Chain A
Amino acid sequence: MSEKSFDRRTLLVSAGLSTMAGISAAASGKSTGWVERLLKRRFVELSDARREEILTELEEACRVKYGRDDITVADTPALDGVEFAYGLDLSRCVGCRRCVYSCVHENNQSRDPQIQWIRVLEMKKDHGIDFAESNVYYDPDEVPEPDSFYVPVACQQCRQPACTKVCPVKATWQEPDGIVVIDSDWCLGCRCCMSACPYGARHFNWTEPRIATEEINPDTHIFGNRLRPNGVVEKCTFCIHRTRKGRYPACVEICPVGARKFGNLLDEAGEMRYLMREKRVFVLKEELNTRPRFYYFYAT
């Protein structure tokens, strides 16, 4: 009887110790290989070496899946002294939707089923801003229609995001440069964030995203336009793969009427500070206290 209990005790103790060892090794971030792979931490909690490994693994997986070997996945960090902000000139937007399709072209959204990160709302001039009366499916021969104005809406990268606090697994958070990002390898797909977002800015991969190989943008960021899996949430990330290298987002560059403005809010000489000083900016649904970084204004 005592022999049996000794065996049982040793078994339990050794099992417990090895489990603890494994967990602590993983938690400390050292690349212990199989243990980390088994326990799968969030990307941001991993060691630099392990992160490099994962990026390479992702690139290899894309190679296999899409048949392209030029796809790169980067994890470019936020630039120092940078806080992004966006300006949208409502007196200029004509509702042409080139921003919508340019965004899709740039950020590898699923084509079938269709996902679009920017939604352009057509509103009536004699009614003003009123979401309940807006129409996103307008399809006239020509825009702008004389009695309408257009309000494009995408992720507002709020300073007090309603979405990040409700995520049950910390799969989404705000980066130091203001961009709210999603870790697609950690997202559960519970859609709490979609419920919490007041701007309808988050979109879900209801099935395996489908995109033609030749349409893929190979220059990707792990928290931005990387090719997403089934069952996770995605949204605008201010073209994180471009803006962290200093480039304008795709929507800013394609807008034919120059209605979109982007820049570093901390740069006093920059476009964003100028426009906030000279034009009267406002934000959508300000009563919700989300404090967006996306400012609407009328230049004239």
Chain B
Amino acid sequence: MERPTGSDLVNSDQEKLLPGSSSLAILLIVFLSISMLILFSIVRGGVGHVAEGDGGRQAFGPAEISGVEFDGELLPGIEEATTGPDQGEFLVPPPPWSESGYFPCTECHADLDLNPEPRVLEEMHDDIELNHGPSDRWCLDCHNPDDRDVLRLINGRLITFDESYLLCGQCHGTIFRDWRQGIHGRRQGYWNGGKSYLLCAHCHDPHAPAFHAITPLPPPVRPQFLARTAQEEAQEAPHE
């Protein structure tokens, strides 16, 4: 069968290798070279656009974090509270300052005269910054003037420091309801058994309760830096 004439097919010599298909060969070679060039020019480690100060250039693990206790011990008694006779009991650490030497307060205050005048304290407790609510708030709004070892509720009822949440709950009712159910505040232990909870004062300094900002732990390592160590090892010993 003959090829149609009039087409622009060049050489009809079928014996020579790729005769007149030089255009085809050239095109293929050009295409392959450009592809190779492109591929090799883009193949690189690729650190991407990461500014100098931006986080995520280095990987950290828990072992490199200081100041955070990852293996926190449960309060003694929680295991028993899960299964033993005290099952369902909720446990709480001692209130703050109760073991610091300040408590019991009556050791000093029993002998001191009462001065009910709202003022800035100068002789003692001047290290306490009072910044809780309205500007005319002062110590004896919460502390019992007659016996400093207890707190006083609005209706006159006296409570121990172990129950200080009742005092906070007078004004912060919604938070108190959530806290009672475990929605507010930190708990540790067993979701189906004994738990420990914290008093308001454990997290919020009652004198200046606003939460302070804290230092965050390091960001994760960015994917382009993930393999730094691993890849270096791979390149050093590729044919093990």
Contacts and interface: CB of A to CB of B under 8 A. Distances in A.
B217 A247 contact: no
A40 interface: no
Contact of B181 (A98, A256, A271): A271
Interface residues of A, number: 60
A3 interface: no
A143 interface: yes
Nearest to B179: A258
Contacts of B190: 246-248
Contact of B188 (A82, A95, A137, A253): A253
Nearest to A118: B220
A114 B191 contact: no
A275 interface: yes
Interface in A57-110: 79, 82, 87, 89, 94-98, 100-102, 104-106
Contacts of A95: 216
A246 to B, nearest CB: 4
B56 interface: yes
A206 interface: yes
Given A101-B65, A246-B193, A263-B191, A279 B183 contact: yes
B200 to A, nearest CB: 11
**Interface centre among B60, B189, B191, B227, by most A CB within 10 Å?**
B191
A142 B182 contact: no
B183 A114 contact: no
Contact of A101 (B68, B211, B214, B229): B68
Contacts of B68: 98, 101-102, 254
A268 interface: no
Given A142-B213, A300-B174, A104 B186 contact: no
Contacts of B55: 137-139
B183 A274 contact: yes
A154 B226 CA distance: 19
A33 interface: no
A142 B191 contact: no
Contacts of A7: none
B222 interface: yes
Contacts of B30: none
A248 B195 CA distance: 9
Given A102-B62, A105-B62, A257-B186, A112 B230 contact: yes
B29 interface: no
A212 interface: yes
Contacts of B62: 101-102, 104-105, 215
A17 interface: no
A207 interface: yes
A261 interface: yes
A287 to B, nearest CB: 27
A294 B211 CA distance: 26
A295 to B, nearest CB: 12
Interface string B203-229: 100000001011111111110001101
A274 B191 contact: no
29 contacts: A97-B216, A98-B217, A101-B62, A102-B62, A104-B62, A105-B62, A105-B71, A112-B230, A114-B221, A136-B56, A136-B219, A136-B220, A138-B216, A139-B216, A207-B234, A243-B191, A246-B193, A247-B190, A247-B191, A253-B187, A254-B68, A255-B186, A256-B203, A257-B186, A257-B211, A258-B203, A261-B183, A262-B191, A299-B183
Interface of B: 54-56, 59-63, 65, 68, 70-72, 82, 174-175, 178, 181-193, 203, 211, 213-222, 226-227, 229-230, 234
Given A101-B68, A300-B174, 4 more contacts: A101-B61, A102-B68, A143-B215, A246-B192
